[in-house]
A = this chain, B = another copy of it.
Amino acid sequence: MLINCVAYQNGTKLADISVEAISDYVVRPDCFVWVALFDPSDEELELMAEEFGLHELAVEDARKGHQRPKIEEYGSSMFTVLQTVDIDPANPDGDLIVGEVAVFVGRNYVLSVRRKTPQGFQNVRARAEAEPENLARGSGFVLYVIMDTVVDRYFPVLARLEDDLERLETEIFRGTPSAKNIEAFYDLKYRLMVLKHAVASLMEATAKLFGGRVPSVCLGAQEYFRDVYDHLQRINAGIDSQREMLQTGISVTLALVNIADSQVTKRLAAYGALITVPTLLAGIYGMNFDNMPELKSVWGYPLTLTTMLVIDVWLFFKFRKNNWL
């Protein structure tokens, strides 16, 4: 589905143009065309490939989706794949929604292909058009604005995962940890790895857009790409810290659950002792020997009951003191 198709000159919008007119504008040296597609059909993609002269391997990747984040050069043009990661508003504790934005960038065109991403990129175009002096840097700046938007959307996702972790930590140390917490940790880890996946590959790829040899379309926006890289590093470091705490959290929870269970077993065993001792005494006076003088005594029965009680009270406090109860 074609979202929009606009030609720009010196950083200002010229006009919304038709797809067929693209090739006319692309050849004008001072112009560039910015096209946005959403879940395009194979025919739409094929048409774009012809208009812009895209490389078949890149088109194939954009068509199939399910790529890892990457930045590839094909001659003087570039092919970038970004993953968008969103919390599902309908099920915030469920799996993260992973979408894909493929961006083709040439000296005078930008083609973005969005798939599955719930949030649109309308504000991206608005933001870019609001800074004509920067937009005049050309297609490289558009790529920066798209990447920056995608990367900035990782922050709330990470923050959410950090909140989840903190809540879990409070639960296991304040309440009684259970097998349910373990599953929650496990799920959290899974979601964290989805985010890690999107971030790590992109970070690695972005490092090539500033510093040493830089693709020509990105030359004027190097410092901007370094800024994106810096954000990615920040998120990545946050993910790694969280991953380490999570790993420790899982083993601690597993151990705490086990400890909680064996403490109950321990307490039950201690209570058991409080029962078996008077049972032994009762057994002794239940024996049928002829010669058991205590049995004849009037005080035998009440004394025995008192003895049972005294022993149990004494044991109870002894166990308490030893932390056995």
Interface residues of A (CB under 8 A from B): 55, 57, 67-68, 70, 72, 74, 169, 173, 176, 179, 182-183, 186, 189-190, 193, 197, 201, 223-224, 226-227, 230, 233-234, 237, 241, 244-245, 247-252, 254-259, 261-266, 268-273, 275-280, 282-292, 294-298, 300-301, 304-305, 322-324
- What is the oligomeric copy number? 5
Cβ 8 A contact of A272, one of B266, B269, B297 = B269
3 smallest CB-CB distances across A and B, nearest first, come from A282-B283, A254-B255, A285-B287
Given A182-B252, A254-B255, A230 contacting B70 (CB threshold 8 A) = yes
Q: Is there contact, CB below 8 Å, between B284 and A284?
A: no
From residue A104, how far is it (CB to closest CB) to chain B in Å?
15
- Mostly helix, strand, loop or mixed at chain A's interface? helix
Chain B residues positioned under 8 Å from A244 (CB to CB): 193
Q: Is there contact, CB below 8 Å, between B275 and A304?
A: no
Cβ 8 A contact of A276, one of B55, B169, B272, B288 = B272
From residue A91, how far is it (CB to closest CB) to chain B in Å?
17
Q: Is there contact, CB below 8 Å, between B298 and A201?
A: no
From residue A171, how far is it (CB to closest CB) to chain B in Å?
12
From residue A307, how far is it (CB to closest CB) to chain B in Å?
12
A244 CA to B261 CA, complexed, in Å = 28
16 contacts between A and B (CB under 8 A): A176-B323, A179-B259, A182-B252, A182-B255, A182-B256, A186-B249, A193-B245, A264-B266, A266-B268, A268-B324, A272-B273, A282-B287, A284-B305, A286-B288, A287-B304, A288-B292
A285 CA to B288 CA, complexed, in Å = 6
Q: Is there contact, CB below 8 Å, between A237 and B300?
A: no
A193 CA to B190 CA, complexed, in Å = 20
A297 CA to B292 CA, complexed, in Å = 11
Q: Is there contact, CB below 8 Å, between A276 and B273?
A: no
